[in-house]
Structure 1
Amino acid sequence: MMDAFASNWFTETCPLFPGQRFSLQVQEVLYSGRSDHQDILVFQSKTYGRVLVLDGVIQCTERDEFAYQEMMAHLPLTSHPLPEDVLIVGGGDGGVLREVVKHPEVKRVTLCEIDKEVTRVAKLHLPWMTTAIDHDKVTVVNAEGSTFLREKQHSYDVIITDGSDPIGPAKSLFEENYYELLKQALKPGGLICQQTESPWLFPHLLRNLGTICRQIYPEVRLAVASMPTYPCGEMGYLLCSLHTKPLNEPQRVLTEVQQQEMGLRFYTPEMHKAVFTLPSFAHKVKW
């Protein structure tokens, strides 16, 4: 892992996007270790605060993590009329969970994270991320996502897959069988949300997921929003629903008062609509 450091800079180099690198200046390494599943690194950067890295790939930074967490949580939750039961697959750092419990409609949340060490390290070094881990609405299960879903039938209103890149422990979360398992675990009218990387770097992934999901779900949409420390500075969000209402229009519109009470800094109802407007090269997948 330490090979990624040179002259006090951390450099992310990933085989999924060859020919480019992203670097952050390091002030202090706070944690470096290996779990049963992956390398885990936390460091204090000069300009982005604390940074969590898994297997050499940046997962979140203190400065911009809220953008990703809010979109992953509030896009699907406001697209459902009454999201009482929610499952988060992955997301052991607690960021998406923190946003999900802000919705009073949500009664029960299950966090299914394969690597309990990620949560332990996040609690120690990223405490603002893990504020909801011990919430009375929350149940934490340490299991592989596909295995956990095989035992679930019509259990959830919303399922959010907050996995890492489609390599290593998260590879199975991008395969056709996984989307079938998600469907069987949804209640009638339920929906899913999954991160789908940048359309600039992963057009093949988007085409593949689009083809798979349109065969399973009646409503499939892709949203894209800015995310400074992710590859190409943006992130794709795939939403699929068992109902036919357009996902680019929120079913529940958060008022300005609600947005303030939730402490939102990125998601708004206006943003919800805007992020589904895609550039023509990405729209050719027929989202």
Structure 2
Amino acid sequence: MDRIRNGWFSEISNLWPGQCFSLEVKKVLCVDKSDYQDILVFESKNNGITLVLDGIIQCTEKDEFSYQEMIAFLPLCVHPNPEKVLIVGGGDGGVAREVDKHPLVKEIVQVEIDEKVVAASKKYIPFMSEGFNSPKLTLKICDGFEFMKNHISEFDVIITDSSDPIGPAVNLFTESYFRLLKGALRPNGIICSQGGSMWSELDQLKQTLENCKKHFRTVQYATSSVPSYPDGQIGYVLAALDEGVDLRKPHYRFTEAQIDELKLRYYNDDVHGAAFVLPNFIRRVICNQ
């Protein structure tokens, strides 16, 4: 609550010093503290319901679909047959909501460490937490590291929907984490992890990609527009066990009828390919080009 002043919430963090993003607050819905982080949910004037963890915006009702669809369908549509999917994190249910839509997915396992985030999401953000209602989904409240140590060669796709590298999520950007991801994948496996902003987290992004490249043969960075995230942009680290996989070209392509039926508001084939087109300053830093 100390981040709300004069009716405005301001996202202030050392991750992006010298700048902040603010939303006008209509009503505070939830203030809680778990064993892992501070939880705040409020209704904003222009962005709808907003979930905040440790002072950092995780999603707003207005634009959450961009992030949820991209982090889900970029890896799912590249894999030739993503039957079994693991979601690490994602306590708001949004990624599960999107993964459930993919016609080839038969089983979803989700591991989330903070049951209070799940509870708050079910109560206050049902438009996202509806993902927990999927008959394909098994939700486990546990540590993702420990879970993957005990589930070797089990998943076709692993999606890491983490918060930023601070607090309980900091370990999800390390070399040891990518080693665990590799071990939990079946042959031809694909991963996708939240990769941060190319504008204000470039050093962290470069380190994350280097950590990933130590264990995966093919690694690329993609982006999408999310206005309520720092700099209005978020990135995704995609990687494949096999060398030569073209992560830019979807293997599965949604028809226009499917896009309408599944209510996809951001992702399509053209957006998929365009997400990997990077400006020169990023290519030079993270791609050695």
Return the offset for 1:214: 2.0
1:250 partnered with 2:253: no
1:143 partnered with 2:142: yes
| Whole-Å separation in 1 of the counterparts to 2:10 and 2:141 | 30
| Whole-Å separation in 1 of the counterparts to 2:196 and 2:211 | 17
Once the two structures are superposed, residues 211-250 of structure 1 have per-residue CA deviations (whole angstroms, 9 ceiling, x without a partner) of 2222211111100111100000000011000123210111
Task: Tell me, yes or no, if the aligned pair for 2:95 and 2:131 is still in contact at 8 Å.
Answer: no
Q: Residue type matched to 2:241 in 1? A: L
| Whole-Å separation in 1 of the counterparts to 2:43 and 2:264 | 24
Matched with 2:169 is 170
Once the two structures are superposed, residues 24-51 of structure 1 have per-residue CA deviations (whole angstroms, 9 ceiling, x without a partner) of 0001001111111111110010000010
Matched with 1:116 is 115
Count the aligned residue pairs: 286
Q: Residue type matched to 1:128 in 2? A: F
SS at match of 2:79: coil
Q: Which stretch of structure 1 is more off in the superposition, 240-249 or 61-70?
A: 240-249
Matched with 1:83 is 82
Matched with 1:273 is 273
Q: Residue type matched to 2:186 in 1? A: K
Task: Tell me, yes or no, if the aligned pair for 2:85 and 2:158 is still in contact at 8 Å.
Answer: yes
Matched with 1:35 is 34
Q: Residue type matched to 1:183 in 2? A: K
| Whole-Å separation in 2 of the counterparts to 1:253 and 1:146 | 32
Task: Tell me, yes or no, if the aligned pair for 2:32 and 2:40 is still in contact at 8 Å.
Answer: yes
1:157 partnered with 2:156: yes
| Whole-Å separation in 1 of the counterparts to 2:2 and 2:196 | 25
| Whole-Å separation in 1 of the counterparts to 2:214 and 2:134 | 37
| Whole-Å separation in 2 of the counterparts to 1:4 and 1:132 | 29
| Whole-Å separation in 2 of the counterparts to 1:54 and 1:213 | 25
Q: Residue type matched to 2:172 in 1? A: L
Matched with 2:225 is 226
SS at match of 1:133: helix
1:128 partnered with 2:90: no
Return the offset for 1:189: 0.2
Return the offset for 1:135: 1.9
Return the offset for 1:210: 2.1
Task: Tell me, yes or no, if the aligned pair for 2:37 and 2:53 is still in contact at 8 Å.
Answer: yes
Structure 1 gaps, min length 5: none
Matched with 1:92 is 91
| Whole-Å separation in 1 of the counterparts to 2:158 and 2:98 | 14
Q: Which stretch of structure 1 is more off in the superposition, 187-196 or 213-222?
A: 213-222
Once the two structures are superposed, residues 40-84 of structure 1 have per-residue CA deviations (whole angstroms, 9 ceiling, x without a partner) of 110010000010000100000000000100001111100101100
Q: Residue type matched to 1:98 in 2? A: R
Task: Tell me, yes or no, if the aligned pair for 2:175 and 2:214 is still in contact at 8 Å.
Answer: no
| Whole-Å separation in 1 of the counterparts to 2:193 and 2:249 | 18
Percent of residue pairs bearing the same amino acid type: 48
- CA RMSD between the two structures: 0.9
Q: Residue type matched to 2:170 in 1? A: K
| Whole-Å separation in 1 of the counterparts to 2:169 and 2:206 | 19
Matched with 1:182 is 181
SS at match of 2:2: helix
TM norm structure 1 = 0.98
Q: Residue type matched to 2:255 in 1? A: T
1:9-88 correspondence runs (5 A): 9-88=8-87
Matched with 2:287 is 286
Matched with 1:213 is 212
| Whole-Å separation in 1 of the counterparts to 2:134 and 2:146 | 25
Q: Which stretch of structure 1 is more off in the superposition, 136-145 or 269-278?
A: 136-145
Q: Residue type matched to 1:279 in 2? A: P
| Whole-Å separation in 2 of the counterparts to 1:135 and 1:75 | 20
| Whole-Å separation in 1 of the counterparts to 2:219 and 2:56 | 28
Return the offset for 1:149: 0.9
SS at match of 1:205: helix
Q: Residue type matched to 1:177 in 2? A: S
TM norm structure 2 = 0.97
